[in-house]
A and B are shown apart, each in its own frame.
Chain A
Amino acid sequence: MRTRLNRFLQDLESADRLDQIQGLTTQLRDALEIDHVVYHWVSVDGEQYGFGTYDPAWAQRYQDQDYIRIDPVVLGCFQRFHPVDWKSLDWTSKAVRAFRADSIAHGVGNQGFSIPIRGPNGQFALLTLSHTCSDASWEAFMFSYQRDLIVIAHYLNAKALTLQKGRRPDTIRPLSPREIDALSFLAMGYSRSQAADLLGISEHTLRAYIESARHKLGALNTVHAVARAIGEGLIIVGGAAREAAGGWPGQNQARGVASS
């Protein structure tokens, strides 16, 4: 499944039109092997976009019935930043119970998980997954993929924002010096513990810099982040870097422990 998620991220990265988000939601759903994926965003001025795999009849019905006013998912995720399992929401009122029955009849599924995203300047978006299965299977799925899904939700939103503004895609946020150092050592083949030693920080701290760099680069894992950083010319690796004049802290030890 992770291979397919990586493939999804590559396709997301190369998307250059907003309408491609629709196909990407389908691709993500298939990669996750669940019933539905929906991406929904509300801009500061109230403009809304939605892309997803729900039955169009349900999307229409949702609008016609103005369900957004009572939908516990929207109400429970707006202004939040932690991922929300639909079971934790309040489904007790009569109107909400009817809404839920209607949604299940339209194939939404009995389980759901939504990730709120706080974009820049008050923009708000939700990445929602839904499925039909037992509570235990859903919980297992959530805890296995929650971290990847949070990352994916933020990349998807960043991409949608870029495309909506008609900016050139793939503008990468600059990496900080520490992030460049961390990725450079990994790119040179050092292990995390060696890289941490070279930088005089703990492995846990190194991980925070890698995590931040990974996010800025739009990568799902470290290998992808390193590849992207090299591709973008953000880091320089290989013999040239290792032999370069000037050195870096711990360079001599680094030469001694280099794995290549």
Chain B
Amino acid sequence: MIRYLYADQLHKHAALQAGMHRDRAAQFRHRLKWEVTVDDRGWERDGYDDLNPLYVIWEPTPGVHGGSMRFLPMSGRTMVNDHFADLTTGPIVSPLIWECTRFCIAPNAGPRVAGLLMLAGGELMRAFSLTHLLGVFDARMISIYNAVGAAPELLGTRGIGRDAISVGLWPYRPDDRLRVLRRAGVSSEVSEAWFARSFGRSVGEKAAQIAA
């Protein structure tokens, strides 16, 4: 299932937490060769993990990390504003825009995982009336996002080829949802049930869903 967990809730899911940080090391340090910090447990962690971010984690079987991403509101400290403000021509500040970083897919994870994570990102936007998600990602991810049917709009790119890192926006587009649901291979009801399980509330108003 998809879990929505704040950092201070991760200790209740120790295996999932360890899997996420190890898979992040595999993706960002070993595969992409980014200059990230990996500790003696083999975990990739940075200062933004200390700001009690919200993680979205795909858990294909109990305790197993299938993919994840990390959210912080653009009204506070964020990686985009601290390190990529040149790509956005200055800091972007809004509580209605959340940054999405460390988008990670576990090695050998199936093709559905990117879709599942994008679906969850859409649920966050819908549930909390966000206008956009703002992401930091490598060049290879752009084609993955496109394949999922939720292409980001690039604001800027640093570096070239394999080393390129981009900042991009996902606006809240209700039409994306059906496409992404199909790619993720789950029903709308299941996605909403996952959300309700984590947040104890529904993604949207019942009437609004019918209207949409």
Contact = CB atoms under 8 A, between A and B. Distances in A.
A252 interface: no
B200 A173 contact: no
Nearest to B92: A212
A211 B76 contact: no
Contacts of A80: 6
Contact of B200 (A87, A120, A177): A87
Contacts of A202: 153
Interface in B8-38: 8
Given A88-B199, A178-B89, A204-B169, A147 B96 contact: yes
Interface stretch (A3-11, A24-32, A138-146, A227-235): A138-146
A204 B153 contact: yes
Contacts of A87: 200-201
A81 B73 contact: yes
B42 interface: no
Interface residues of A, number: 40
A151 interface: yes
Interface in B123-175: 124, 127-129, 131-132, 134, 153, 155, 169, 171, 173
Interface residues of B, number: 39
A58 to B, nearest CB: 25
B200 A211 contact: no
A208 B73 contact: no
Contacts of B119: none
A208 B169 contact: yes
B171 A207 contact: yes
B123 to A, nearest CB: 12
B54 A215 contact: no
A211 B173 contact: no
B132 to A, nearest CB: 5
A111 to B, nearest CB: 13
Interface string A197-235: 000011011011101101110000000000000000000
Interface string B170-194: 0101000000000000000000000
A253 to B, nearest CB: 21
Contact of B88 (A81, A153, A174, A176): A176
Contacts of B88: 176, 178
A151 B208 contact: no
Contact of B54 (A81, A117, A120, A178): A81
A175 B211 CA distance: 37
A79 interface: yes
B95 A79 contact: no
25 contacts: A81-B76, A81-B95, A82-B54, A87-B200, A117-B75, A118-B73, A118-B76, A139-B202, A140-B207, A143-B204, A143-B208, A146-B128, A154-B95, A179-B89, A204-B171, A205-B153, A205-B169, A207-B132, A208-B131, A211-B97, A212-B74, A212-B91, A215-B75, A215-B94, A216-B93
Interface of B: 6, 8, 52, 54, 72-76, 88-97, 124, 127-129, 131-132, 134, 153, 155, 169, 171, 173, 199-202, 204-205, 207-208
Given A150-B129, A215-B94, 4 more contacts: A82-B127, A173-B93, A211-B132, A216-B93
